[in-house]
Structure formats: structure tokens, C-alpha cells
Chains A and B, each alone.
Chain A
Amino acid sequence: MKYPALGLIFFLTATFHFVVSVQAQNLPPSERSKTLVIGKISDDPKKHHPVLERMGSYLAQNLSSTGIVKSDVLIAKDLEQMIDYLANGKVDLLSETAFSGLRLKMRAGAEIILHEWKKGVPFYRTIFFSAKDSGINALSDLKGKKIAFEDSGSTSGFLIPIAMLTRGGFKVEHLRSPRNEPKRDSIGFTFSRGELNMVTWVARGLVSAGAFSSTDWKEVVRTPDRLKKSLKIIATSKPIVRSLVLVRKNMSSNLKSSLRSVMKNMSNQESGRKMLSDYYKVSKYTDIGSEASKSLAEVKSLMQYLPKSSNK
């Protein structure tokens, strides 16, 4: 190495911070049992940490009967890290979408305890849309064409639509840029990194179709009316549960039961409703009903058709 000292410094830095980080995540057992750790998968702790802190604090205050006296937040930068946290008991509770929730259940032993409604919506669908004058009226018309998805972590904007395409027997091809062209027998997909981007790309003909949540389709800020007029829906998925509440494996039944009770009761109280609205605009929590169970079965089915890179 040309600069051994520099290398040593970086090594020490990395080691030092690894130790610091692990120490922060490994609370002493006496503290851990009194602490409710709420988690989230995100690469933007700055944005989510305060929200999670407030929700964790609210829940801890309402779980005093279970011995919980305080809360903590642990954000995982990706699904793998969250699986690790859950598997090692570092995170107690988190909200996740259907796909990620099922993965965490399968791989980390997490338990789905509640159905999370957002903005009053318990389910959503993925919709495929194209420009009215594109001549594309069905998924089969997309062969040799390009479709825009949101990003690789989006359930409604990537996982479901790509699973639907592969389950429908279409070959899909990842394109680095929307200006790249797919092979004739495959559907090229690219990521728009945003709903408005996607709508604009389709309306301008940069891609032939787009796919995202039905809730995005209804929101003017994401799908402006002026653009929507030039678009049409060409396919939809079955209803997908909007979101799920999961807890780590081996959580005591008392805490689990209390959590379920407290969270379901939140929408019945003014303070609870305010907290829910602050917590990602959740409307309420309900038990997993039969419709939700069916939806989860559909999602589980679709998961088999996900590309290998996405199906971890």
C-alpha cells in the first residue's frame, strides 16, 4: 500500500465506528427488556428517525403494564439488515408492505400481527397505464417495448408488476436508461425514481407504459389531471394489503397482545389519531381478516415470480 498510515487510519475509523454502532444497537439485557425498539427499512434515517421516535414513545407510554418504560429506534439500510435486526431481537416492531413483510416473516421469523390502513385505504392495486395514443391496450402489447417502474424496493411500483409480468410468461429485461431499447421478445424495464417522473415519461412517450399504486393514480400531485387525460389503464393487479405490522419472533404473548390492543385502539382516541396521522398517515389498525389473508396469499404467489435479484 502506498500510504500505509492512511490505510491504518481508515481501518481504525471503520473498526471504531463498527464498535460504536454495535454498542448502540446492543442494549444491556436489563435495559432491552424495558425498551420497545421500533424499526424501519430506509436509507434516510434523518427523515424517519423523528417520526419513529414519536410513535415509539407513544406506544411505550401505553405499554407500561407490560414493563416497557421507554422506546428506541433502529433503522436498517436494507431488508437484509432488518432481517438481521429482527432475527437477533434488536427490533421489536415495524410496519412494512406486503412483499417485504412476507419476506421478513419467512426469513427472520417475524410475525404479522395487524393490517395497517393508510389514508383510509386498506388495500390497493397496482395499475399498468400507457398513453392513449400509444396503441398499447394490454400487457401483451408491451413486448419489445419499455415500461417504467418506480424503484427496486417499491412493492406496488416494481415487485408486484414485475411478478405479474413474469407470471404472465413475459421475458423482462432491465434497462439502465429509458433511452435504451429492449430485445424484441422481451419487455424492457427501467426505474423512474418517482411517480411524477413515471407519468411524465409515459405521457411524453419516453417509455410505453408505467406501473404504480392505484393510490398514486388518484393523487393529483403524483398524477396531474392534465397528464392523466392522455393516459389509460391497461391492466390492474388483485387487491394488495396496503401495509402490515410485524413483530420480532419470540416476543412475549403479553407484549404482543398488548401491542395489538394498543395499536388497534389508537384510531378511537384523539391523541391516537393524531399520532397515526403523523406516523405515515395511518388511518387505523385492524386484525388480519379473510380478505387480507387472500391478498397475502396472492402476494406470496407473486413472490415466486420475482427476479432472483429481488427475491431475497
Chain B
Amino acid sequence: MKFRLQTQFAITIIAIILFLVLLLAGLLQIDFVQTIKESRELGSKLTRDALFDQTRKKGLSLAGLLSGSLVNALYFDNQDLINELARSTQGQPGVAYVFIYDRTNRVIQDGTVTIEKFGTLLNDKHLQESVKKRQPVSWTTDKVLHVTTPVLAGSRVLGGVRIGLKLDEIKIDQKNLQDVLARIANDHDTRFAIFTGVSALILIILGIIFAVIAAKRFTRPVNALMDLTDQYSKGNYDADISLNRTDEIGDLAIALKNMATARKLADAESRQHQEQLAHVSRVATMGEMATGIAHELNQPLAAIAAYIDGSLRRLSTENQTPKPIIEALEKASDQAIRAGDVIHRLRDFVRREDHKSEKVEISDTINTAMQLLKADFDLNKVDLSLDLARPSPVVIGDSVLIQQVIFNLVRNSVDAMSSMDSGSGKLIIKTSTDTDSILIKILDNGPGVEPELQKQLFEPYISTKKSGLGLGLPICRSIINELNGQIWYEPPPSQGAAFYIRLPLFSGESAV
């Protein structure tokens, strides 16, 4: 599966966010469960401590209250009051036992009717400590919290109180509380799971939105760079984008622009070289055509000489009539013009100018080229047949360069046919158009191109001529390519060779 960069980027970010969110949610859940567990344990401990502390306070409070109430009763040995206080304390919930002892630390009341512990000596370390500190002292045994406190009248110890509180009730309370804590913890667990899930979902949605925005933001300049490179690939090296970035993408844009500038300069240089090469090629061609050109010029010059000679002879006779002389001189003048045209065409053909981009009428251009080659046709007895579309199709380009292409192809045909029997060579040049292009077909009945050479025809330095450099056809191809056209070779069904050129027609909107 192939994804665009933006999609890949978005998927990557979403995957990272998804992973992080799920990881975070998982860690939170684990931490929460652990926290709840610890909280329960801590709560249980705190509760146990709190209940114990509460029981201890209750014991201290009861002992303090009882000892305070006992001061006067012990001072005056009011046994009824002492007994009443002991029994009422014994009746309090959670009280395991009550001992009231005198200043000799012997039990005098224990809250029972029969005073079962009467006379029991309580002279233990807890009692001694409480007397020494003049404060209540508490301690625990297996199931009972004990509190002992002296009964004081001022600083005088009158006796004391010892109370035992049942710790079983703490355990029962603790169990109930643990059940409540467990219920609360379960409720919290469920709520937290829902909260975590919803939060994760929201984070994922936000993450996707963020990823898409980030991907777009990241890939927008990349897309702009892609558009720029696309423009460059089409040869539009003047294309530009404004990114205003200082990061790597900004550097890449600058690098691309530099590359385009370099390519533009290289192209210009290449074009210049190409122009030079084309010019050299045309000049060389003219050298090769010197005989034909001489023949072409010789005819009008000979005619001019003949007309002038005839005119002189007539002027030297007595019977002078001006009309024939005028006619001869007019003909001489025409021939001079004809020779001038030849020279003019030659000069145009070999002139060295910058390439133009102008409207070129293909039919006229072909005709002009054929006139330059007329002497070659005559010398080689080649029969030229033109089938040119009318009105002349128009393309955008340089007429001289197009002429050079036609010229080269035709001369190659004439050269190929020069070895044939005199008068048997035939050359056909035909143009046809479709909706947006013109097709030029140059067909001869010469020996054709060897099959092994056909694929290399347009490669440089490939030539069948002994004196050829093998640059003619490559130059033709580069010229046609420059005009966004195509040139190719196709062997005709019968004998001979056929070259095709397709050029885009001027549509009225093309740059001139």
C-alpha cells in the first residue's frame, strides 16, 4: 500500500499519540489501583489507629471523669457513692471492668454487687507510673485496653481508678469500615476507568486532529517544493515559491532555486553551443554545396553576360532598335536579381544570429529550402515532388533552423540517391495537419538506412558518409526538440527512407 507523505506523517503521529495515551492510561490505571490498594491499607491502619485512639480517649475520659467524681467520695470514704459510681461506669458500653482502689492500691470497688475483686493488690508498674506522673496511664493486653489513673485531692493521692475497655468492638468496627472502604474503592475504580477511557478517547481525537493539522502544516511546503520541481522539470526555471522558512525545508527551496538557476545557465550555454554547432553545420553544408551553388549562380551570371553581350552587339549595329535592347537588359536585370536572391538566401542560411521565436509558415520555409537545393536536384537528376498543405501551417520557431532541418534531411536523401541510375531518384515532401500539430514527411526511393543503424541515426558521430562528422541528424533532433516537436525515422513499406517531423501548430496563444 502506498501512502502520500502527509498520510504517512499523520499516521505516524497518530500512532505515537495513541501509544503514549494508551501507555499513560495504563500507567495511570496501574498507579490508581496501587494507590487505592495502599489507601485501603493506610485507611485500614488509620482507622484501626483512630478507633484505638478513640477507645483510648474514651478510656481516659471515663477514667478521668470517674476519678474526678471520686475525689470527695474517697476523701470522706463515702462507700455508697463510690459503689454507685463504679457500677454506673461498669454499665457503660464497651467497659470490660472497673476497679476503684484506695491509697494502698487495693481494690475497694469493682462495679459488681459482690465486689469480687475486693482487696486485690494492683501495685503494678502501670499504677506506680500513674502515681509518679500524677497522670493516667494506658496499655493494652490481648483484647482489653487498660487505663489507670490516680484520684487526687490537690497533690494528695487518695486512691485510683482502673478501667478496662473491650478491643473486640474495635475489630468489628474496623471490619465494617473495611467493607465500606472496599465498596468506595470499587466505585472509584469504575469511575476512574470510565474517566480514563473517556479522557484517552478525547486525547486520541485531539491527537488525530493535531496530527492531521501538523501533517498538513509539515507537508504544505513539501508540496510547494514538489510543485516547484514540477515547474522546473517542465523547463520553467523562472518559477518561484515564497516559503519564508529558515529550516531545512527553506534550505531545500533555496538549493532547488540555485539548481534551477544553474540549469537555466547551463541550458542557455548549451543552446548557445547548439546554435554555434548549427551554424557551423550550415556553413559546412554550404561548403559541400559549393558546386551546386556555383552552378546556381553560374546560370544567371551566364545569362546576364549573354544578354549584355547581345545588347552590345545590337548597339554596335546601325540598325538600332531600342526595344530588343531594353528587353535584353531587363532580362539581364532579372537574372541579376535571381543571382542576388540566391546569394541572399545563402547569406540568410549561413548567417549567425540568436535563435528567434517567431511565426513560421512551414510551406514557405520548405519552398525556400528547396530553392537552395535546386542545383543539387538538377545535378543529381532527382525528381522532387512537393505536396504542401495550403494555407501554409504556422508553427512557432526559427525559420532558418527549421530550414536547416529540412535541408539536412533532403540533402541526405539526395546524397543517398546520387549513386542510383541518373534520373531515377525521387523525393517526396508532404505536409499534413491535425488539430494541434503538423506532420512533415520526407520520403525517398533511395537505398534506405541499414536496419542496424536505424536506432542510432540520431546519435552523434554516426554517419555513413566518408567525410561526414555524424552531427547533422543529432543537430536536427535537438532543433526539433527545442521546438517541442519530434523527429523520427521509419522505413517505408517499399524501398527508400522516410523521415517524419511533428511540430506543434501555432494556436494563437503561444508565445512569439
Contacts and interface: CB of A to CB of B under 8 A. Distances in A.
Interface of A: 5-6, 9-10, 12-14, 16-18, 20-21, 24, 43-46, 49-50, 52-53, 73, 75, 77
Contact of B75 (A9, A16, A75): A75
Contact of B114 (A9, A20, A52, A73): A9
B72 interface: yes
Interface string B113-129: 11100110000000000
A44 B153 CA distance: 10
Contact of B154 (A5, A17, A21, A50): A50
Interface stretch (B8-16, B102-110, B307-315, B404-412): B102-110
Contact of B108 (A5, A13, A52): A13
Nearest to B106: A16
Given A44-B72, A75-B75, A20 B104 contact: yes
A49 B77 contact: no
Given A10-B79, A45-B153, A50-B155, 7 more contacts: A9-B118, A17-B77, A17-B102, A21-B77, A24-B103, A43-B72, A75-B153
A5 B114 CA distance: 8
A50 B75 CA distance: 13
Contacts of A20: 102-104
A9 B115 contact: yes
A21 to B, nearest CB: 6
Contacts of A43: 72, 76
B68 interface: yes
A247 B79 CA distance: 32
Contacts of B104: 20
B443 to A, nearest CB: 143
A8 to B, nearest CB: 10
Nearest to B109: A13
Contacts of A24: 103
B72 A14 contact: no
Contacts of A50: 153-155
A8 B8 CA distance: 103
Given A20-B103, A50-B154, A52-B154, A45 B75 contact: yes
29 contacts: A5-B114, A6-B113, A6-B114, A9-B118, A12-B118, A13-B115, A13-B118, A14-B77, A14-B79, A17-B77, A18-B77, A20-B103, A24-B103, A43-B72, A45-B72, A46-B68, A46-B71, A46-B72, A46-B75, A50-B153, A50-B154, A50-B155, A53-B154, A53-B155, A53-B156, A73-B153, A75-B75, A75-B153, A77-B76
Interface in B51-106: 68, 71-72, 75-77, 79, 102-104, 106
A13 B159 CA distance: 14
A52 B156 CA distance: 12
Contacts of B153: 45-46, 49-50, 73, 75
B433 to A, nearest CB: 130
A45 B77 CA distance: 12
Contacts of B113: 6
A52 B153 CA distance: 10
A50 B134 CA distance: 14
B236 to A, nearest CB: 110
A52 B72 CA distance: 15
A13 B71 contact: no
B123 to A, nearest CB: 15
Nearest to B104: A20
Nearest to B119: A12
Of residues B71, B72, B119, which shows the largest number of chain A Cβ atoms within 10 Å of its Cβ? B72
Nearest to B153: A49
Nearest to A54: B154
B19 to A, nearest CB: 76
Of residues B77, B106, B113, B153, which shows the largest number of chain A Cβ atoms within 10 Å of its Cβ? B153
A248 B79 CA distance: 30
Contacts of B108: 13, 16-17
A22 to B, nearest CB: 11
Contacts of B76: 43, 45, 77
Interface string B223-237: 000000000000000
Contacts of B68: 46
A16 B106 CA distance: 10
Contacts of B155: 50, 53
B298 to A, nearest CB: 160
B156 to A, nearest CB: 7
Contacts of A52: 154
A79 to B, nearest CB: 15
Contacts of A13: 79, 108, 115, 118
Interface string B121-159: 000000000000000000000000000000001111000
Contact of B71 (A16, A45, A73): A45
**Nearest 3 A-B pairs (CB), nearest first?**
A46-B71, A49-B153, A49-B154
Interface in B205-232: none
A80 B75 CA distance: 17
Contacts of B103: 20, 24
A47 B44 CA distance: 44
Given A43-B72, A53-B155, A16 B114 contact: no
Interface string B463-488: 00000000000000000000000000
B412 to A, nearest CB: 143
Contacts of B79: 10, 13-14, 17
A46 B156 CA distance: 10
